[in-house]
Amino acid sequence: MKKTPTERFDRLDALRGAAVVWMVGFHFMFDLNHFRFIRQNFYEDPFWTWQRTCIVSLFLFCAGLGQAEALAQAQRWPRFWRRWGQVAGCALLVTLGSWYVFPRSVITFGVLHGIAVMLVVVRLTAPAGRWLWLLGLVAMLLPQFIQHPWFDARATQWIGLVTRKPVTEDFVPVLPWLGVMWWGMAAGQWTLARRRHWFSGAVPRAGRGLAVLGRWSLTTYMVHQPVFFAVLTGVAAARRSFS
């Protein structure tokens, strides 16, 4: 039986590509700071912390939009699990890599770990439709009103109702971030039902590169930091040898 080709939403890919460019730029500056080429406080300076929040939000919103697209094209569970396995596997690699580079602040539940869990929840709750807007709001607000030391433990901190942020280089717990992905799913469902052309329209020539990059977002995420670290390690070594 011949497989029906799926529709490609280049505008959604371009939006994801824009998030990738922003992330890569942010990480490059972080790495310059790590190698002491610049002096910035990425952990407390609002200029950097707010950028990080916006970048993660954009990625999770795009993930929700992507799930709406997949369901609209009748994506079956086997294909979902194949993609999920790639995300979960990369999350494990991130943990191992961070353990080598940042042994005192290992990433145990970063953005890829969060996405892996949230993708399953969003997929299962997609039939809620417009109620996803309310669920998303509740998920975003709940950590502001409920915190308990029980959630500070390594085994439970991934839920997000912590009283203090754990010592880690990246922390994207289910709450409140699930709310952003739920809103992405809700926005995607609404758009595909009422304004499908917002997704299916052509991408301007200047944004076509972003669309291509958006299709390879996971690969770019996994590759760019090792490349940056390798290059900057070499540059730092050369600088020391000539100093």
To the nearest 10°, report the CA torsion of 29, 48, 160, 130. -100
In a domain? residue 178? yes
Domain that holds residue 86: 10-232
- DSSP H helices in the chain: 10-34, 46-72, 77-101, 111-125, 131-145, 174-194, 197-200, 208-215, 217-242
pLDDT above 90 as % of the chain? 85
What are the pLDDT digits (tens) for 187-196? 999 999 999 8
Write the DSSP symbol of residue 105: S
Mean pLDDT of 16-20: 96
CA–CA dist 217, 19 (Å, integer): 9
Instruction: Give strand pairing partners of 119.
Output: none
In the predicted structure, residue 151 carries a pLDDT above the cut 70 = yes
In the predicted structure, residue 2 carries a pLDDT above the cut 70 = no
In a domain? residue 32? yes
CA–CA dist 202, 210 (Å, integer): 13
Banded model confidence at residue 205, pLDDT cuts 50, 70, 90: confident
pLDDT for position 241: 80
pLDDT mean across residues, the chain: 93
Structure tokens at 237: 């070594």
pLDDT for position 3: 45
Mean pLDDT of 56-73: 96
Overall domain count for the chain: 1
CA–CA dist 186, 137 (Å, integer): 12
Q: Is the dihedral of CA 93, 105, 170, 225 positive or negative?
A: negative
CA 173 to chain centre: 12
> What pTM was computed for the model?
0.93
In a domain? residue 240? no
In a domain? residue 3? no
